[in-house]
Structure formats: structure tokens, C-alpha cells
Chain A
């Protein structure tokens, strides 16, 4: 069992979470993760990491500091990412998920990276 399996398990036990990925922030490559069938983990990893990088550069340019949580809300679900040390914990949820709970879990997970 990898070092991150516990983190992934803790996030995916929340209702509505369809994928949890540990992603290399710079490369956008999946390090560890689990997902429902049909979820394109490579796409979520690469594009969420890219979005996070862009957001981080934008926040830094505006002197807002580093981005600790990124929350992308869409019509049919959500992508939430938190991270440190070059890694991101990315949760993909459907519309049923309790955002507040998942967010708290992700912050806890990011602290453990």
C-alpha cells in the first residue's frame, strides 16, 4: 500500500466523490488515485494541475500568495484541489457531494502530503 493510499481512502469515502487523485503539480501526472469507471483520470490530473499552476501564478502576480484550495464548480459536478510540496490532492465530485466536508478533508489531506 502506498504512502498516499490512506489519503485517497479518506477522501473517497465521502458521498458524491467519484475520483480522488494525488497528482504531481508540475507534470500533471497521477501519482496515486482511484476513480469510478469512466472517469478520465489522466485528463483530470493534467488539466487540474495546469489550472492550479495558472491560478498560482495569477495569485502571486496579484500579491495574494500561494493558492491553497482551488474549487471549480460546474453544472454537473465539481473539481477541488489542494496541495503542497509539489503534489496536489484532487477530488472530483458529482452534484450530490457536500462541498464543505470534502473541502475540509482535502485540506487535511494536503497537510499530510
Chain B
């Protein structure tokens, strides 16, 4: 795709923000490797055309290219809500589940993807590997059964039955971490942080740490680095991580000594859960 084509599509989108030209524009930017711009265009377009499955599919593919698997998963989940047979979403989720070692889920998605495109050799190979692993097969081509993460994400259909305080329980599992979803005033929308003696620390934590995200919003206007995506505070007794989600903030706190990468991964998973949960309530 030539630069002129991208430029003319950008101009068309700027002239008419509701236009669907954001789809080929984001695809072109993705193909060119301009992932930040592609993500921005795709997310804005998906926001304006929330009922278009292909818009969310584009968001997912760009997120995957950026290495943001959590965002990709959430976007493909939305695609399947809108269009249960959408092939690319099944393909993407199938491959992600395969990498995560969630083989039964991977099988369901890969079979659905193959049904839509029987010639997809990558999906075929992945399905064969998953089936061998489930059958206890070994040797070359063995599926990676070790999960890439030990932090489970609840199935989307379970979210509606959860109380808000329980939203992150499945994601956190038995790890000694807490997660909260805060509104713009720092009030707890979901999640909980209750100490051993029954004190609700969520209110305190939310109130103080929402000020940090406000401060970050102010700072970004002067920094020229785009929008902030994550804040991590390493304190003496805990590591606290924050990420923005629409007008809310997701907060994860972990005891000192928890590996930083693990805290960040937990934050990403909780943010994905929060995104889906908020989406179902908007």
C-alpha cells in the first residue's frame, strides 16, 4: 500500500469520522508495521462502530501484533458475541489457547476455524498437535502443554453471574494479590481488598491511587509520549500496578517479592476481564 493511499484514506477519515474507511486504513498501517497508529485508528473505529465484528477483529489482530495478548483475547471475545462463526476470531483464540495450554478450548476454536476455512494449514497443524497432546502423544510436534501463564481468566459467560466484588477472583486465583476496578473518582467499582481483620482497604487504596492516575493524565499532556498505558510503583512492602480502561482504572497490588513480570501479567489479565465486564454493562 503506497503512502499516498494511506494519506488519502486518512484525509477521508478526518473529513468523515463515521466512515468505514478506518478499516482499510488500519489494515494498511498494520501491513506497514505502524502498529501504534494502526491501533489508534482501529480502536477509535471500533468505538464508533461497536456492533461491527470486523472492527473488533481488526483491533484484536493489531493487539496481537503488538504482543498484547490480553487485549487481543478480549477483542476476539467481543467479535464472537457479535458473530459466533467469525473465522478469524476462532483462529486467533484457538492459537492463543493452544499456546496457553488450554487445549480443550483450543480444540473448539480451531475446529470452528477449520470449518470456515478447511485449507488453513496453520490451523490444521495446530489442531493436529492439540489432538495429539490430548491423546497423550509425544515426540516431534508435541504441543506446548505448559501454560504460558499460571493466572487463569474466567470464561466470558461466567462474568454475568459474578458479584462485582468477585470479578477478579478467578484471575487472581490463590496468588496473594488484590485487584480493584476504580471509577474516575477513585471509588471501587469491582474487586475487593479486605485485610485479615476485616478492614476494607479498597476504599483507601482506591482513593489515594486514583490521584496517581489523575497526575499521570496531567503529565502526559506535556510529555509527548502519547497516552499512558501502565504505571508500576515498587514500594517497600508492595508492588502496585495501574492501567487505564476507558474512564476507569484497574489496580493490582502484590506483596514485595512478587516478580514484576508476574504483577504486570496479572494487571493485563485483570484489565482484559474489566474491559469485557464493562463492555457488557455499557
Contacts and interface: CB of A to CB of B under 8 A. Distances in A.
A59 interface: yes
Given A51-B212, A58-B208, A59-B240, A74 B227 contact: yes
B209 A58 contact: yes
Contact of A59 (B36, B229, B235): B235
A75 B236 contact: no
A47 B222 contact: yes
Interface residues of B, number: 32
Interface residues of A, number: 32
A75 B227 contact: yes
Interface in A29-63: 40, 43-44, 47-48, 50-51, 54-55, 57-59, 61-63
Interface in B221-240: 222-238, 240
A61 B218 contact: no
Contacts of A62: 201, 204-205, 208-209, 238, 253
Contact of A54 (B212, B234, B235): B212
B236 A68 contact: yes
Contacts of B216: 51, 72
B215 interface: yes
Interface string B201-213: 1001100110110
Nearest to A38: B224
A87 to B, nearest CB: 17
A67 interface: yes
A47 to B, nearest CB: 4
A74 B225 contact: yes
Interface string A91-102: 010000000000
Interface of A: 40, 43-44, 47-48, 50-51, 54-55, 57-59, 61-79, 92
